[in-house]
């Protein structure tokens, strides 16, 4: 929760700086550097998890359907959101949903990939929507896990958390879904993390 509020505050400061000093900061070039740094961080975070083999070995293969269900449900409701957001196409709404809670990477990817087709301004607007939508997903998972667990079962908070089930929301998942769900949550988060660049790139190319 605190981390999400810090991100929102940093985002607001960036908006103010861009408005006060237009053209002073090379926004597009800066976004490239940040994107490369984030992609490096994703690789490092996955590669540094030395327990991944043990985690996979301890899990029943049926739990691999959980990230598939998370992706399918997220993309389905993202597509439905396009019915309410007439400005954006189905593919663009699905690109936003493809962040799966990973707001920093998805927002930069979308901005970078959509700029050639729609222009910097609209691409930045869609990237901002991705940032906010995925932050709200993380906050919803953090605050709503008790009710989600109560009404939908122990796997539901993991699915709701998306890519954050391996880090930010893991303590909440362990508390309300049980410590036995931690290996499932970690594997789920790793797979969702890994899928973000592929899904976002695919839907941005449509």
The residue extents of the domains of the chain are 27-44+63-204
d(CA 125, CA 111): 8
Residues 6+ apart with CB under 8 A from 195: 67, 71, 98, 100
Q: What is the share, in percent, of the chain residues with pLDDT greater than 70?
A: 73
| Higher pLDDT, residue 59 or 168 | 168
Decide if pLDDT at 93 tops 60. yes
d(CA 79, CA 82): 6
Residues 6+ apart with CB under 8 A from 126: 88, 92, 95, 96, 110, 111, 114, 118
Decide if pLDDT at 71 tops 70. yes
Kindly write down the DSSP assignment for every residue of 90-140, as one continuous string.
Answer: HHHHHHHHTTTT-HHHHHHHHHHHHHHHH-HHHHHHHHHHHHHHHHHHHHH
Decide if pLDDT at 139 tops 70. yes
Sole residue written with tokens 């919803």? 140
User: What pLDDT was estimated at residue 186?
Assistant: 84
Give the residue-averaged pLDDT of 144-161: 94
User: What pLDDT was estimated at residue 57?
Assistant: 66
Please tell me whether residue 48 adopts helix, strand or coil conformation.
coil
Greatest mean pLDDT among 8-12, 17-21, 135-139 lies in 135-139
Decide if pLDDT at 138 tops 70. yes
Among 24-28, 103-107, 158-162, the minimum mean pLDDT is found in 24-28
Helix then strand count (H, E) for the chain reads 10, 0
What is the reported pTM?
0.77
Give the residue-averaged pLDDT of 56-60: 66
Give the pLDDT band of residue 175 (cuts 50, 70, 90). confident
């Amino acid at each position: 929760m605190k981390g999400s509020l810090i991100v929102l505050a940093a985002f607001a400061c960036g908006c103010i700086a861009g408005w006060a000093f237009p053209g002073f900061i090379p926004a597009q070039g800066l976004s490239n550097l940040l994107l490369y740094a984030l992609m490096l961080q994703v690789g490092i975070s996955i590669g540094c998890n030395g327990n991944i083999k043990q985690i996979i070995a301890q899990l029943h293969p049926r739990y691999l359907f959980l990230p598939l269900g998370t992706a399918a449900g997220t993309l389905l409701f993202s597509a439905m959101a396009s019915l309410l957001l007439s400005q954006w196409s189905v593919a663009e709404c699905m690109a936003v949903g493809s962040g799966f809670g990973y707001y920093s990477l998805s927002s930069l990817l979308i901005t970078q990939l959509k700029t050639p087709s729609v222009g910097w301004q609209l691409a930045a607007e869609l990237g901002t929507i991705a940032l906010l939508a995925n932050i709200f997903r993380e906050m919803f998972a953090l605050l709503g896990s008790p009710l989600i667990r109560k009404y939908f079962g122990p796997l539901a908070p993991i699915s709701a958390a998306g890519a954050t089930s391996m880090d930010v929301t893991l303590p909440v998942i362990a508390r309300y879904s049980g410590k036995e769900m931690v290996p499932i949550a970690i594997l789920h988060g790793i797979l969702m993390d890994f899928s973000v660049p592929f899904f976002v790139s695919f839907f941005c190319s449509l």
